[in-house]
Amino acid sequence: MSIPGVGGLVISTMPFMCAPMTPEQKADRYAEVAKEIAAVIDGETNLIARMATVSNILHHAFGHYFWTGFYIVDPEKPEELVVGPYQGSMGCLRIPFGRGVCGAAAASREVQIVEDVHAFAGHIACDARSRSEIVLPVMNAAGELIAVFDVDSDEKSMFDDIDRAGLEPILSAAFG
């Protein structure tokens, strides 16, 4: 819902813009967004189109998402990630496996939740405003790593197991 503001400016009244979400609201929002993404990408086989849609819908669904996108395993350099579809300020173009939070997720194939990026050794500061993040490995149907999905917030401690539990089924439905 939105209400008209002064001079035609539209002021959003979505609850996430006004107050932090409760854990229940956040879980519910992930469930709604999962359905929306599934409906939009249904029948679309192009990987970039699917990644662009996932980034776009998630980025605009949550107030704590500051940078949202994919780093794809480079087919020509299998130990290196190259930036894919994203929303937010300009991202670094390439990240070697093992470097930063994305590189750690790629090398370990494990979800990384970082409450304070300044305390993470080797964190890559593409945007100095990033303070916390979650990075999930993205696997294809054969169980091979094809990318990582990276979400940054400009506030500390913004990601937890609800984000992980919300994002894992979205990524496996879209790419698994």
Of the residues 26, 29, 50, 123, which one makes contact with ligand SME according to CB under 6 A:
123
Of the residues 70, 146, 152, 166, which one makes contact with ligand SME according to CB under 6 A:
152
| Interface segment toward ligand SME; rule CB under 6 A; list 2-10, 43-51, 118-126, 156-164 | 118-126
| Residue 65 binds ligand SME (CB under 6 A) | no
Min dist. Cβ of residue 91 to ligand SME (A): 4
Nearer Cβ to ligand SME (34/70): 70
Per DSSP, the three-state class of 145 is: strand
Min dist. Cβ of residue 82 to ligand SME (A): 12
| Residue 130 binds ligand SME (CB under 6 A) | yes
| Residue 82 binds ligand SME (CB under 6 A) | no
Q: Is 110 exposed, middle or buried (0-12, 13-18, 19+ CB in 10 A)?
A: exposed
First-last CA distance in the chain: 34
Of the residues 26, 50, 51, 100, which one makes contact with ligand SME according to CB under 6 A:
100
Min dist. Cβ of residue 112 to ligand SME (A): 8
| Residue 124 binds ligand SME (CB under 6 A) | yes
Nearer Cβ to ligand SME (36/154): 154
Query: Are the C-beta atoms of 123 and 117 separated by less than 8 Å?
Result: yes
| Residue 145 binds ligand SME (CB under 6 A) | no
| Residue ranges that bind ligand SME, judged by CB under 6 A | 67, 91-92, 95, 100-103, 123-124, 126, 130, 133, 150, 152
